[in-house]
A and B are shown apart, each in its own frame.
Chain A
Amino acid sequence: MTVSMNRRSLLAAMSAAAATSAGPVFGQARGEQILVVMWGAQWIEVCRPIGEEWLRATGDRVQWELHAGGAMGIVGRMRPQFPRIQQNLVAAWDPVFDAMIEADWLEPVSETEMSALKEIPEIFFKKDKQGRKITVPLSTAGAFWGYRTDLLDKPLENIEQLLEPRFKGKLCVPVPVNLSGLLMVSLAIQRGGNERNIEPGWQFLKELAQRGNIGRVVANNSEMINAMSQGDLSVAFWNTGGWQAVSERFPTRLLTRLNDNKGFLFNEGYVVMKGDNPAKIAAAKRFANHFATAEINTRYNMPLGSGPTNVNAKPADAIKDIFYKPDELAKYAYIPDYSYMSTQVDAWTRRWETEITPLVRQG
């Protein structure tokens, strides 16, 4: 007897197998339509086929909505409607999770309902005031200084060198709201500070701006990738997703192992939104659990240049230089207090607008 198997039936069988092995929520009624918020660019490219396979395997239908600007934007869009919101699952990162947890918008998740969560280390989860898990961590990403090696005569060895005249107009930096102010934290660390002692960072930033070394201020991934592709900027501080795209086009070096500075790590993933329709909440949990399984977690993170969170997932070869071995974490990596930073971003933005932008504009 021969068994005929085409690509579609193979994918459907794989998804069905993953769904079956993923826990009790999959035993509930299928065929729900859920609205999932995701980033654009590579993120949605990876997610659409996963969603289509999911539909074929389970009957659950996924409607995608894309973040406009930073992930915090979705909070503004949902705020006037909450709790009567349409979104069931939202992809975001640490500071946005903190804001949503504080507002009590999120549905707790558990390993009983979502078996794939057992394969994610405890440290990656965010919890609510009652200590319940509240996020579905999917990626470990980072933010680092880096540069295009084809545009620099001699290597950049430490952050203090950014003040040199050779970097006039060459720096691409994020506005404080992007990456929750990690730029200032990085500069503060360089001068002996941190996120709670941020003043040294502001002083460093003012020096950079006064010397005309900041050539461009970007607000999202596309802007960073475009800016670094044009050739007039050589150094940037940005996240792994942006660097991944730049390094595909140009020779780059990420300064992930500086002795006197740090790279930053953060988590991205899903949160299940509260709502009055239990069937949709269950469907959202089923779908989030599917993303957390080892196979899909591998597929999701490979093109993003992010590290997977499922211990059984396979990280991409391209990120081996970006992510730290356990013994390197203390020396080179820093996980700041994002909850505290999210309370400071407003003040940091005002300070940027009143003290830094006028200096940058003078050139």
Chain B
Amino acid sequence: MMRLPIAVWLIVPGAAALVLLMGGPVAVLTIDSLRPYIPGSIRAGDGYTFANYIELAKPAYFNYAYETFRIGLIVSAFSVAMGAPLAYVAVRSRRAIVRKGLLTLLVGLLVMSLIARLYAIEMTWGTHGPLAFIGAFVSGLAPRSPRYAEVLVAIGLMHFTIPIVALMLVGAFRALSPRLEEAAASLGATRSEAILTVVLPLAAPAMVSAYLVSLAMCISNFVAPLLLGRGVVVFTTNLMYTRFTDIGNYQAGAAIGVFMLIASFAVVYGLATIAKKFLPGAVPTR
């Protein structure tokens, strides 16, 4: 009898959980997305239809998906740009108090209630907030304008993507030997040159991973646009919530969910392919 390698046995529990916990709901969602909706009724109609998907082809719904990804891509870029230096200092600082303090701060930010943070952002950066003038200056938008809500949503998203990105990169920077930077310095490189030419290229795979995780967190976020979007910055998650919770049109909500799943896979796969092309070391290959 053929004996299965230990690696196969090790992945069985995780794979089974994935199939049952994720595959099951996604399958049910897919089936529901193909059922017709009867206005005013809780029950789905008989038969199957693509109407719920055809509806999503309207330009307005494309715009909602585009806005969701656009804000997610921008916020993720800012998160990596701000999280990487924090992670580097948290690993390389000579002062233990700085290293421990930064790590405590990053973990602490994750522990604090997201809802409390979002309301605090509204109070601080919102129309009458003490820092609204900075947001208005940077964005070029009046704090009272509906478009300023985008700035608030972006700040809200960064509140929880930056700590995640930074903590992911802490492990990557720890794995890089400081001797490499010392070697670069002994060859005449300045500190910043050593970081730019040695540390960042070696950390590129981790930074791409952190970027994609941040993107996934942004495009699937629901609370930040709900609380800070003033009802005018609407993510696809908010559209889904309305369908499921307020209207009872589960079929349309399911169709948006399935569409976003496919779109997210496509965007992540596309970004990974681009990263592989332009940053050969950024994506592991076999």
Contacts and interface: CB of A to CB of B under 8 A. Distances in A.
B42 interface: yes
Contacts of A98: 40
A73 interface: yes
Contacts of A231: 127-128
B248 A72 contact: yes
Contact of A232 (B58, B144, B234, B252): B144
Main secondary structure on A side of the interface with B: helix
Given A72-B247, A175-B242, A353 B41 contact: no
Contact of A218 (B41, B231, B239): B231
B24 interface: no
A70 B43 CA distance: 19
Interface string B108-143: 000000000000000000111000000000000000
Given A79-B42, A230-B127, A230-B128, A215 B144 contact: yes
Interface residues of A, number: 46
B146 A215 contact: yes
A70 B246 contact: yes
A117 to B, nearest CB: 26
B147 A363 contact: yes
Contacts of A345: 246-247
Main secondary structure on B side of the interface with A: loop
B233 interface: yes
A203 B63 CA distance: 22
Interface stretch (A38-46, A259-267, A310-318, A354-362): A354-362
Interface centre among B144, B146, B233 (most CB of A within 10 A): B146
A68 interface: yes
A79 B239 contact: no
A15 to B, nearest CB: 35
Interface string B54-67: 01001011011000
B285 interface: no
Contacts of B252: 346
Interface in A75-112: 75-76, 79, 98-100, 102-103
Interface of B: 37, 39-43, 55, 58, 60-61, 63-64, 126-128, 144-147, 226, 230-234, 239, 241-242, 244-250, 252
Interface of A: 68-70, 72-73, 75-76, 79, 98-100, 102-103, 169, 175, 177-178, 212, 214-219, 223, 230-232, 339, 342-347, 349-350, 353-355, 357-358, 360-363
Nearest first, the 5 closest Cβ-Cβ pairs linking A and B are A217-B231, A343-B40, A354-B60, A177-B246, A73-B245
